[in-house]
Amino acid sequence: MRWLAATTLGTSLLTGAAAQAQAPQAAPQPPATQASVSQATVSQVKLGYDTYAAGIEVMQMQVALGLGPWTYQVDVNYHTTGLVGLFYRGSQVNAVRGVWQDDQAAPLEFSGDGVWRGRARRTLIEYEHGQPQVRVLQPPQETEREPVPTELQLHTMDTLSALAQLMRRVEREHSCDTSVRTYDGRRVLEVSARTGGSERLEPTDRSTFSGPTLRCDFEGRALAGFLIGDTNPEHRQPLRGSAWFAPAVPGAPTLPVRIAFQTRWFGLATMYLTSAAPTVTPTEVARAPRP
State pLDDT tens for residues 86-110. 777 889 999 999 999 888 889 999 9
Distances (CA, A) of 129 to 31, 221, 233, 264: 9, 26, 36, 37
How many whole angstroms separate alpha carbon 252 and alpha carbon 79? 26
Angle at 108 (CA atoms; ends 9, 134), nearest 5 degrees: 60
**β-pairing, 37-53 with 104-116?**
unpaired
How many whole angstroms separate alpha carbon 221 and alpha carbon 144? 19
What's the whole-number mean pLDDT along residues 270-284? 77
Whether the per-residue pLDDT at 201 is higher than 90: the answer is: yes
Whether the per-residue pLDDT at 114 is higher than 60: the answer is: yes
Confidence of residue 283 (pLDDT cuts 50, 70, 90): very low
- The pLDDT value given to residue 265: 67
- The pLDDT value given to residue 213: 96
Whether the per-residue pLDDT at 85 is higher than 60: the answer is: yes
- What pTM did the predictor assign? 0.80
Amino acid present at 73: Q
What's the whole-number mean pLDDT along residues 151-174? 89
Encode pLDDT of 117-161 as tens digits. 889 999 999 999 889 999 999 999 999 999 999 999 998 999 898
- The pLDDT value given to residue 43: 64
What's the whole-number mean pLDDT along residues 192-208? 94
Residues of the chain with pLDDT > 70, as a percent, come to: 80
What's the whole-number mean pLDDT along residues 212-239? 89
Q: Indicate the average pLDDT of the chain.
A: 81
What's the whole-number mean pLDDT along residues 175-189? 90
